[in-house]
A and B are shown apart, each in its own frame.
Chain A
Amino acid sequence: MTPSNPPGLSSSQPASDQWPLWEVFTQAKDGAPHEHAGSVHAPDAEIALQNARDTYARRGEAVSIWVVPSSAIVASSPEDAGPFFDPGNDKPYRHPQFYKIPRVGKEL
């Protein structure tokens, strides 16, 4: 399959005087995963982090932020989603429900 720009990313190249686009991922609390929050424009990584904080964490919504140049992200394409994810769907024996066992306590 052909990698393409990820969902959430602009497919257009920035205009000459426009700062590059960065994707922002925020971690809501300690132990939680980083999740995509949106994007910001910034001339460098440091300002991207500061812009991301001001845009996506004005109310303590994050304890950690990642910024990634949008152009560095590679995503699967929706057209190929069927064949691409298919190998995961035809292996029912990966799920516990596949196995028939006698009725026991709640522990198993």
Chain B
Amino acid sequence: MEASSTAQVAEDPARLAEFEARLSRGETIEPKDWMPDRYRKQLVRMMSQHAHSEVVGMLPEGNWITRAPNLRRKLALLAKVQDEAGHGLYIYCGTETLGVDRAELIDQLLSGKAKYSSIFNYPTLTWADMGAIGWLVDGAAIVNQTMLAHASYGPYARAMVRICKEENFHKRQGYEILATLSRGTPAQKAMAQDAVNRWWWPSLMMFGPSDKDSPNSADLLRWRVKQKSNDDLRQRFVNLTVPQAQAIDLTLPDPDLKYNAETGDWEFGAIDWAEFYQVIGGNGPCNRERLGARRKAHEEGQWVRDAAAAYAEKQARRKKSAA
């Protein structure tokens, strides 16, 4: 299959020029349109990683569904986790338009070959983590996905529009959890602060390596899959988030955080990229646990898939013999 071949294909210069002209006119690329092999590969890589992240992203929060403090919180968390499953499906559906098979993508995730967002390899230790994930992790995802809603590839952009509409609920429910805890007892407030302290730096890492160290940024920017660099998006997220932390009387764990009145940016301290590469490389606190849970869910769902297939076959046979 073209999309999974690793060899670099020499493109027809005329077609490549026409393709890039279409992009510079702001046109949208659709599945049947001609596209450079590398554009297709970069999209398959990026979109499937994104879809896997949505799916694995259900696990840290799923951990707290049975222990939500009340029914309202439990309903909200259930709905949020269901949305993440839906987001995974939107993006898998978009990735399939590039000529890859969904079963193949799922296999890559379950075998550990595919990557997903490093943030989901951190543990969720307290209820306040549900707040920090909704506020910070979904907040960071919104900044990234709002940009991707203008991606040059139509099916990806359309999936992002759908997702962005739903993410605001995720972010607000998380922020509400932290705001409530912050107004609570000293122990509740300490729990909220602890969660923010643990999730802040991994959230900043979600935007990916600094552009000078990001192997894929140049292609993605040139082909308008992305319109902003990882560093620009990260800065935007920090600028949006600092006042939100202040509003609920929580601090961010960065002694170097300071406002630059000239640029209007909140400048932040150095990110520990060694940690990022450790977690991406499979050595985060929960990598094995997450993949183990995914594999178990997939295997335990086998009888459901078998039963549905057997039922469909039986119905088709009946219909045929009745005709």
B46 at the interface (CB under 8 A from A): no
Task: Report how far A6 CA is from B97 CA in the complex, Å.
Answer: 10
A-B contact count (CB 8 A): 81
Closest to B87 in A: A55
Closest beta carbon of chain B to A85's beta carbon, Å:
15
A64 at the interface (CB under 8 A from B): no
Closest beta carbon of chain B to A51's beta carbon, Å:
8
Q: Mark A93-104, 1 if CB is under 8 A from B, else 0.
A: 000000000000
**For residue B154, which residues in chain A have a CB less than 8 angstroms away from its CB?**
7
Q: Which residues, 47 to 99 on A, are CB-close (under 8 Å) to B?
A: 47, 54-55, 58-59, 75, 77-79
B308 at the interface (CB under 8 A from A): yes
B93 close to A39 (CB less than 8 A): yes
Q: Mark B293-316, 1 if CB is under 8 A from A, else 0.
A: 000000000000100110111011
**For residue A38, which residues in chain B have a CB less than 8 angstroms away from its CB?**
89-90, 93-94, 158-159, 162
Closest beta carbon of chain A to B28's beta carbon, Å:
10
Given known contacts A39-B96, A47-B308, A58-B83, A4 and B103 CB-to-CB distance under 8 angstroms: no
**For residue A39, which residues in chain B have a CB less than 8 angstroms away from its CB?**
93, 96
Task: Report how far A11 CA is from B309 CA in the complex, Å.
Answer: 22
**For residue B104, which residues in chain A have a CB less than 8 angstroms away from its CB?**
15
B323 at the interface (CB under 8 A from A): no
A12 close to B308 (CB less than 8 A): no
Given known contacts A7-B30, A7-B31, A78-B32, A19 and B97 CB-to-CB distance under 8 angstroms: no
Q: Which residues, 9 to 63 on A, are CB-close (under 8 Å) to B?
A: 9-12, 14-15, 17-19, 21, 38-44, 47, 54-55, 58-59
B90 close to A55 (CB less than 8 A): yes
Choose one: A4, A12, A41, A58; the contact of B32 (CB below 8 Å): A4
Given known contacts A4-B32, A55-B86, A75-B32, A40 and B100 CB-to-CB distance under 8 angstroms: no
Choose one: B32, B89, B158, B162; the contact of A40 (CB below 8 Å): B89
Instruction: Give the secondary structure class of A's interface.
Output: loop
A44 close to B32 (CB less than 8 A): no
A12 close to B100 (CB less than 8 A): yes
Choose one: B90, B99, B159, B316; the contact of A10 (CB below 8 Å): B99
**For residue A17, which residues in chain B have a CB less than 8 angstroms away from its CB?**
103, 305
Task: Report how far A55 CA is from B33 CA in the complex, Å.
Answer: 27
**For residue B33, which residues in chain A have a CB less than 8 angstroms away from its CB?**
78
Given known contacts A38-B93, A44-B315, A58-B83, A19 and B32 CB-to-CB distance under 8 angstroms: no
Closest to A76 in B: B32
Choose one: A8, A18, A44; the contact of B311 (CB below 8 Å): A44
Closest to B96 in A: A10
22 A–B contacts, CB within 8 A, in A order: A5-B32, A7-B30, A7-B31, A7-B154, A8-B155, A12-B96, A12-B99, A12-B101, A38-B93, A38-B162, A40-B93, A43-B311, A44-B315, A44-B316, A47-B312, A55-B90, A58-B79, A58-B82, A59-B166, A77-B32, A78-B30, A78-B34
